[in-house]
Amino acid sequence: MRIVLAEDLALLREGLTRIFETYGFEVADAVSNGPSLIRALTTQRPDIAVVDVRLPPTFTDEGLRAAIDARQRFPGLPVLVLSQYVEPIYARELLSDGAGAAGYLLKDRVMDIDQFIAAVRQVAAGGTVMDPDVIAALLTRHAADVPLQALTPREREVLALMAEGRSNAAIASRMFITDKAVSKHSNNIFAKLGLEQSGEDNRRVLAVLTYLKS
């Protein structure tokens, strides 16, 4: 799998490159700023872009904007955004094109290397991965405000885990219920959110999107 990496701090850029190479990925290009990220994505056409939110020249949310830009040019380009801090508002922007294949994680998560690599593979395969902190922040909100109020607490829990990018099997083991119960819950969620029509993967993305948008 070919990766384009954008990270301005050399220490972290090298660390990430080393991790990726250890796990058998090919780092096609490792860049340090927004404009060269766009260039690298255009010339390399990688399987996934791993991008730091804060990049030069502006040192604001340059990386996020570049990623969103690139996805407009290459729809469905898998992007995993890493950040020192998470903002649900950025997660929403990243997912707002509804194409899936997007992830948003705290940089800390890299420390659990196996889980981090699993997240990279999942996003590259078209999945959605949200940092548990984003989910936790969203869970503090008032239930009455959101279109999710029709969901039972159990279904909300399933949806939150789904947003973290977990498979049905992983959700089942986490919640100590059977796979069958999970798929029953998720079908209820899709039905309540009005997502009966599309395919399974797409529905998961749309459900997560609803969750983030609410």
Nearer to other proteins, 84 or 152 (CB): 84
156 touches other proteins by CB under 8 A? no
Q: How many residues bind other proteins (CB under 8 A)?
A: 24
> SS3 string of the chain?
CEEEEECCCHHHHHHHHHHHHHCCCEEEEEECCHHHHHHHHHHHCCCEEEEECCCCCCCCCHHHHHHHHHHHHCCCCCEEEEECCCCHHHHHHHHCCCCCCEEEEEHHHHHCHHHHHHHHHHHHCCCEEECHHHHHHHHCCCHHHCHHHHCCHHHHHHHHHHHCCCCHHHHHHHHCCCHHHHHHHHHHHHHHCCCCCCCHHHHHHHHHHHHHHC
Angle at Cα 75 formed by Cα 74 and Cα 77, nearest 5°?
Answer: 70
Residues 194-213 that bind other proteins (CB under 8 A): 213
Query: How many angstroms from the chain centroid is the CA of residue 21?
Result: 21
Applying CB under 8 A, the span of 13-21, 53-61, 188-196, 200-208 interacting with other proteins comes to 53-61
d(C-alpha 32, C-alpha 6), whole Å: 5
Interface region with other proteins, contact rule CB under 8 A, candidates 5-13, 82-90, 119-127, 198-206: 82-90
Q: Is 47 in the site for other proteins (CB under 8 A)?
A: no
Does position 85 interact with other proteins (CB under 8 A)? The reply is: yes
Q: The tokens of 158 are what?
A: 């399933």
Closer to other proteins by Cβ: residue 112 or 200: 112
**Cβ at position 81, least distance to other proteins in Å:** 13
Cβ proximity to other proteins: between 85 and 198 the closer is 85
Does residue 87 belong to the site contacting other proteins (CB under 8 A)? yes
**11 belongs to the binding site for other proteins (CB under 8 A):** no
Q: Is 111 in the site for other proteins (CB under 8 A)?
A: yes
Q: Check residue 141 for interaction with other proteins (CB under 8 A).
A: yes
**Residue 176 in the binding site for other proteins (CB under 8 A):** no
Please tell me the distance from the alpha carbon of residue 30 to that of residue 21, in angstroms, as a whole number: 12
From the list 1-9, 88-96, 168-176, 185-193, the region that binds other proteins by CB under 8 A is 88-96
Closest CB 88 distance from other proteins, rounded Å: 5
Subset of residues 55 to 74 that bind other proteins, contact rule: CB under 8 A:
60-61
72, 142, 196, 197: residue in contact with other proteins (rule CB under 8 A): 142
